Amino acid sequence: MNKPLRRIAIFCGLLILTLLIRDNWLQYVKANELATDDNNRRVNIARYSIPRGNIIVDGKPITGSVENESGDFKYKRTWVNGPMWAPVTGYSSQAFGANQLEKLEDGILTGNDDRLFFRNTLDMLTGKEREGGSVVTTLNAAAQKAAYEGLGNKKGAVAAIEPSTGKILALVSTPSYDPSKFAGTSGDDEKAWNAVQKKNNADDPMLNRALREVYPPGSTFKVVTAAAALENGVVSGIDDKTKTPDPYELPGTRTDLTNQHGECKNATLRYALMVSCNTVFAKLADSVTNEKMIEQAEKFGYNNKELDTPVRAAESIYPEDNRPQNAMDGIGQASNRATPLQMAMVVAAIANNGTLMKPYMVDQIKTASLDTIETTDPEELSQAVSPETAQKLQQMMESVVNEPQGTGGKAKIENATVGGKTGTAQHGLNNSEKPYAWFISYAKVGDSAPVAVAVVVEDGAANRDDISGGGLAGPIARDVMKAVIDSKK
């Protein structure tokens, strides 16, 4: 072979080798990345070529699929009462992607998860079409409905937990949105999507306030301060005098902290929680110290950046602060911030005799034929307080609901023992905005505590003087607890 032909042959050989390397690189090294690329239309065509598996509540699907009349995507997602369930499921859109359970469990719902390999192989051999699996939630439909209807047209959120397991029983955020309205790719879907974006809608209906919004918890946090005082020996008995002045001068300042209700001077811990004495709990937070307050708050779940339900919850924060700020943090103000889920965790731990269980809302993963692939086991997060301290806190919280002077009387339930704590949290510069109304509570039937609830209401329509945790949030918590109790009968 002459030299020019040899050079051409070598050059062609190098080209073929390069093509083979490139082909193998794409098929093996880059395969997974290309298969999951949002711009790979074939992936989405395959994803929507079969009916999507369902998300289940109380044995019934709250989702479905309908066949499109035209286009490359054969099926699109539907929801039963979408606005009520959107804070749980999230959305699954052919045009805008997915979030929350719809995204986290996409592999199961589309039938592509590796855990379905054996089932999919059998279906392929028998000629059966691939089917999506099911996600069985821990949610209680009656509790979810009570929370959603209780909030109504008010802005706010509800989180309810089963204290003994950590199962999330209700998760509601209002205002909400209907994910069915933008599940497809039409112009109407695009309009519906744009209408719920924060830049176009100041109410931000796509914000999951139960999991992703943090608020000053206000006086509901006083149960944590009481726990810290009892655990650290600052006080011993809940009926012992606390030696608190009224007003109380914040440490290191000339600023007096006052109270709105009751005779708080030298009040007992029980009475101070019952009428919500600011002075008592600010002084206790200072006596406990910022370091120990942080330690106690973290035992209840604060300052946790990786709390997955499996949807990631925003971090609730008890901060490192100076003495006067720490005193205000101790009454749920200053830089203290919490999600509704976090405050539900606080009261759930108290109701569970001090043991905090990790909250979760996926109970089981099943195949299309209802074979169980995976079951979530309850997991202990911490021993937030001793059983003795938890029982003292329960006595105090039950006084809030049952005693005539208590602020939580509207949460009473016949044939159940209810413990609660109200909160009216200031916000805005110099308390210029309307306060948030909070209520946290648990209900016991006999020795069992089947439910713990946190409710926050941002009611901009109410008169400022009419906003209170007991008045606005308490009845919602009561209805959610009653729904759980009734569903177990």
Q: Is the dihedral of CA 18, 23, 26, 29 positive or negative?
A: negative
**Amino acid present at 279:** T
**Amino acid present at 373:** I
Distance from C-alpha of 141 to C-alpha of 486, rounded to nearest angstrom? 12
Among residues 173, 219, 287, 468, which one is catalytic?
219
Residue with tokens 């490359």, as numbered in its chain: 72
Under 8 Å between Cβ of 401 and 469: no
Nearest Cα residue to 361 out of 104, 79, 155: 104
Helix (H, G, I), strand (E, B) or coil at 204: coil
**C-alpha dist (Å) from residue 272 to 248, 267, 440:** 14, 6, 17
| H or E segment and range at residue 157 | strand 155-161
Beta strand segments in 270-429, E = 355-357, 362-366, 372-375, 380-383, 417-425
Torsion over CA of 80, 81, 87 and 88, rounded to 10 degrees? -30
Do strands 134-137 and 55-57 pair parallel, antiparallel, or not at all (unpaired)? Answer: parallel
Beta strand segments in 49-140, E = 55-57, 60-61, 63-67, 75-79, 92-93, 97-98, 134-137
Distance from C-alpha of 426 to C-alpha of 180, rounded to nearest angstrom? 36
CB atoms within 10 A of CB 340: 31
Which token pair is 35? 């298969």
**C-alpha dist (Å) from residue 290 to 332, 339, 486:** 13, 21, 42
Whether 70 is catalytic: no
Distance from C-alpha of 86 to C-alpha of 101, rounded to nearest angstrom? 10
Active site residues: 219
